[in-house]
Structure 1
């Protein structure tokens, strides 16, 4: 992002936060930041998610960097969750340059924990047993370490086994999932993955290459 873009979106973030109050967090991510570990270039009401200026990328940022830029679309309100268990209503808007390339993200996260609790209390009086709906909000992490831990946990859920019980095929599948989610765009993530899966660096890159080859065959 250019300095003028960052300045504009910093002022926009401040205006939105003032408009909607202290429960509304507004975050600007720079997708062109030299150091991805510090992608947050503007944030208001960071207490909502526990993040601050200079924090690392979110799941949405990694997916944007890993995916096809032409397929990126703004995300209408969806549910997310914080490390301490609060529920947020979030929206994501991609910022593009003059050529249409995505260069940043404006994210709005509104803490609806109290309202959701009230809604649930009211629903207990009005819902019938068939009204229940399963939904798993996306996690909002505070830092790079938390983000990687969350991605590793997701890869374990995908395979259905802890790393100690995984076969080679399981590890290829888990590492391929992490690659698709953009985990290895984060600095030193490969070393963390080696520790998590209990494999050597050579084995890790062998599994990663196999996963990429399988993905290319399926494409």
Structure 2
């Protein structure tokens, strides 16, 4: 497949079929990942599960795939949770073109909250014993996604930005880069404000961490 846009009718029909099969507790989302990341959703069924709609952004997992941090982004049968506390059993399948470039994704999020309440009697339905815990955040606005990643990088370092040394800030920038944060449009402005650094300093930090990572990868070859 070379373009999500050109195959939109077929892909929309497919997600409609998946949603019909599993009912209104299953959200099915089609992302066009050639678009700006703040508006990747081009089709969605049962958006009430995560509160998203057409024109909203993708999740943090998609950023990692686009950044190249995760080589094989397909994930099956993982558990995640919405901001409202719904427990979801999810699968994400990425679409590539003939050059092997990631151009889209189909994601399924089944709300199993009611099943969890009766887990002792219907454990075979929830399949929790066969799932892995993955932290995925569902947001409508890409700025919320960037806020989440900034908070996560601070948690990774284990101290507030005001107490971070240069080395710790470099580590935090590397974390953000690996998570694909800089694929978000105008992310640099928010990152600079968060770390109280200039754009010149940010670009230097990025050059440093990317060069270091490249050297480390080459040394392992």
The interval holding the TM-score normalised by the smaller chain is 0.7 to 0.9
**In 2: Cα distance, 1:103 partner to 1:170 partner:** 34
Secondary structure of the residue that 1:212 maps to in structure 2?
A: helix
Instruction: For residue 12 of structure 1, report the CA deviation from its aligned partner.
Output: 1.0
Deviation readout 1:24-74 (Å, 9 max, x if unpaired): 0000111212x33211111111111111101112122211211178x3252
**In 2: Cα distance, 1:68 partner to 1:218 partner:** 15
Unmatched segments (≥5 aa) in structure 1: 124-133
What number of residue pairs does the alignment pair up?
208
Instruction: For residue 2 of structure 1, report the CA deviation from its aligned partner.
Output: 4.2
- Counterpart check, 1:79 vs 2:79: yes
Distance change (3 Å), C-alpha of 1:87 and 1:142: farther
Determine the structure 2 residue equivalent to 1:149.
Answer: 147
Q: Retained in 2: the 8 A contact 1:83–1:142?
A: no
Instruction: For residue 98 of structure 1, report the CA deviation from its aligned partner.
Output: 3.7
Instruction: For residue 152 of structure 1, report the CA deviation from its aligned partner.
Output: 0.9
The 4+ residue runs of structure 1 with deviation greater than 4 A are 120-123
Secondary structure of the residue that 1:26 maps to in structure 2?
A: strand
How large is the RMSD of aligned CA atoms in angstroms? 2.4
**In 2: Cα distance, 1:120 partner to 1:86 partner:** 18
Distance change (3 Å), C-alpha of 1:5 and 1:136: closer
TM-score by length of 1: 0.86
Instruction: For residue 96 of structure 1, report the CA deviation from its aligned partner.
Output: 2.5
- Counterpart check, 1:62 vs 2:60: no
Unmatched segments (≥5 aa) in structure 2: 124-131
Determine the structure 1 residue equivalent to 2:128.
Answer: none
Determine the structure 1 residue equivalent to 2:117.
Answer: 117
Q: Retained in 1: the 8 A contact 2:69–2:178?
A: no
Q: Retained in 1: the 8 A contact 2:28–2:106?
A: yes
